[in-house]
Structure 1
Amino acid sequence: MNIITSGESHGYGFYGIIEGFPSHFRIDTERINNRLRLRQSVFGRGERMKIEDDKVEIKTGLWNGETTGSPMTFFIPNKSLTPPNERTSIPRPGHADLGGMMKFDFDDTRVITERASARRTVMDVAIGEFARQVLESLGIKVYGFTKGIGGIETDLMANAEPEIGAHPLLCPDTRVEEQMIEIINEAYKEGYTLGGKVTVVVRGMPVGIGTFAQRQKRLTSIIGKAIFDIPSVKGVIFGDENIWKVKGYEGVDDIFEGLKRKTNHAGGIEGGMTNGQDIVINLVAKPISTQKRGVKSVDLDTMKESETTYIRSDTCVVGAIVIVATAVVATAIMNELIDSFGGFTFEDLKGNFSSYRRRIDEFRR
């Protein structure tokens, strides 16, 4: 299966093409749109979220609501078609501006910003919610939650994704979440941004998905590559974040009768393959670099020191990253399962996968 996306922050919109997906899977488009709304509504987002009304249109690859086996084209239109600023030759530290301008020979940061903008993750979420529907049909659940923001962190492990109505930051710990909201409000008033931690959980994967045979096909490599494509993500740890602090024999997940485990330090992956436990992924996101406070840079027109100007930005995108991260993880796993188990129709895929599950279950006996 192959997936490609295109589009700019203030262009006509964003496109996503999925090639190689089997036929006869029914897509719930409204579920995708609900997920897109959730991406916009988590606490800490900025003014741009009030402008857009993100809804997906599936232009090709469907017949009576079911996939046909031909390439699917997803499209999300932009309402804001004009960049909010005039030409600027002052690259923003922490962004793709300077490297992109030098590499592609442009004198206007907007040319680079239009594609480098995190707004492109809107299509990642649309495709990822489609992938979550596919995985749920195979008995696999993917969800996430906010673990920490700005140095405040919860020890709770959520068993499901928190409801936005009760948890505006998608943090399962109400007391800690209230503290997070307080420091985000303070950051907004003072004109700076905040980063944090997100946890993604994949439940229901059988043993042996992925491989140890090639480094690029290890499941850690596949998932890690997908997560590192999310703007602001600076670190990924599978499983126990404190594994480096313990003795070797304390950091392994002992195997007991019935091939059961009592711990999950490995985060569900050993040797590049699933081990049957929940896949647990902890990721760290930096504070976004665009903020009300100007930062030091150089005006490329004059090559003299200058200061960046503020346009608009989020104060904290950690809650939104929960949505984006679950999406890209779901997409990566869907891709791996289709590549591994194939099938021209979704029933073929489902049958092949079910057969593998049965064989794994028989091995346990």
Structure 2
Amino acid sequence: MGIQAIKGVEVGDGFETTRRPGSAAHDEIVQGDGLERLSERAGGIEGGMSTGQVLRVRAGMKPIATVPHSLRTVDVATGEETTAHHQRSDVCAVPAAGVVAEAMVLLVIAEAVMEKFGGDSVGETRRNMQSYLDAIPESRRTKQDRP
């Protein structure tokens, strides 16, 4: 998954998790109304698989390339120091990046669904997914797995 200007992506607590010991980084699982997690540190994905919880993805975007004043640079033709030419100043690209990022995440999820459940039609894919869900023992289901 690649999106222009995005410099970092985290799922769940992501980078914050790297500063915790394992006992404070993982989501505990208990038997309640099916399997339940006591926290959402993983952000809906564990071991590359959905936990059934809400998918939580955050991205860090680099600042826009245009700034309202000229910055120091080097003229590549002469090797001399100079200042960059100021052409324009964009305001903010974050709203557009959010739309692109959401679409990219959905494409990645759709690709994973098709890889797992496949089919020549939406109906066949749904049937394959339902067969998979039906094979999960009741005691191993999460609230999201139940009809």
TM-score, normalising length from structure 2?
0.79
Percent of aligned positions that are identical: 37
Q: Deviations over 1:95-138 (max 9, x none)?
A: xxxxxxxxxxxxxxxxxxxxxxxxxxxxxxxxxxxxxxxxxxxx
Helix, strand or coil: the match of 2:26?
Answer: coil
Alignment of 1:187-266 (within 5 A): 226=1, 229-241=2-14, 242-257=16-31, 258-266=34-42
Show the counterpart of 2:104.
328
Deviation track 1:212-236 (CA, whole Å, cap 9, x = no partner) reads xxxxxxxxxxxxxx1xx22221112
Which runs of 5 or more structure 1 residues have no equivalent in the other structure?
Answer: 1-225
Deviations along 1:131-162, whole A, 9 cap, x unmatched?
xxxxxxxxxxxxxxxxxxxxxxxxxxxxxxxx
Instruction: Report what 1:298 is aligned to.
Output: 74
User: Is 1:291–1:315's contact at 8 Å kept on the other side of the alignment?
Assistant: no
SS of 1:322's partner is: helix
Aligned ranges 1:285-364 → 2 under 5 Å: 285-360=61-136, 362=138, 364=140
2:28 is aligned with what amino acid? Answer: D
1:278 & 1:361 partners in 2: Cα distance?
22
**How do 1:1-365 residues align onto structure 2 when only pairs under 5 Å count?**
226=1, 229-241=2-14, 242-257=16-31, 258-360=34-136, 362=138, 364=140
Give the 3 Å change call, closer, same or farther, for CA 322–361 of structure 1 in structure 2.
Answer: farther
Question: Where do 4+ consecutive residues of structure 1 move more than 4 Å?
Answer: none
Q: Distance in 2 between matches of 1:317 and 1:246?
A: 32
Show CA shifts across 1:182-221 (max 9, x none): xxxxxxxxxxxxxxxxxxxxxxxxxxxxxxxxxxxxxxxx
For this pair of structures, how many residues does the alignment match? 138
Residue aligning to 1:201: none
Distance 2:117 2:24 in 1: 36
Report the 3-state secondary structure (helix = DSSP H, G, I; strand = E; otherwise coil) of the residue aligned with 1:234: strand
Distance 1:267 1:289 in 2: 31
Return the alpha-carbon distance in structure 1 between the equivalents of residues 131 and 87 of structure 2.
Answer: 54
Q: 1: distance between equivalents of 2:54 and 2:70?
A: 43
Scaled by the length of structure 1, the TM-score of the pair is 0.35
Which amino acid in the other structure matches residue 5 of structure 2?
S
Preserved contact between residue 10 and residue 59 of structure 2 (Cα < 8 Å): yes
| Amino acid corresponding to residue 254 of structure 1 in structure 2 | E
SS at match of 1:279: coil
Name the SS for the 2:56 alignment partner.
strand
Report how far residue 245 of structure 1 moved: 4.1
| Deviation for aligned residue 1:363 | 5.7
Q: Secondary structure at the match of 1:276?
A: coil
> Could you say what secondary structure the match of 2:136 adopts?
helix
Contact 2:35–2:139 (CA<8 Å) still a contact in 1?
no
For residues 93 and 136 of structure 2, what CA distance do their matches in structure 1 show? 40
Query: Partners of 1:304 and 1:271 in 2: how far apart?
Result: 51
Deviation of 1:324 after TM superposition, in Å, equals: 1.0
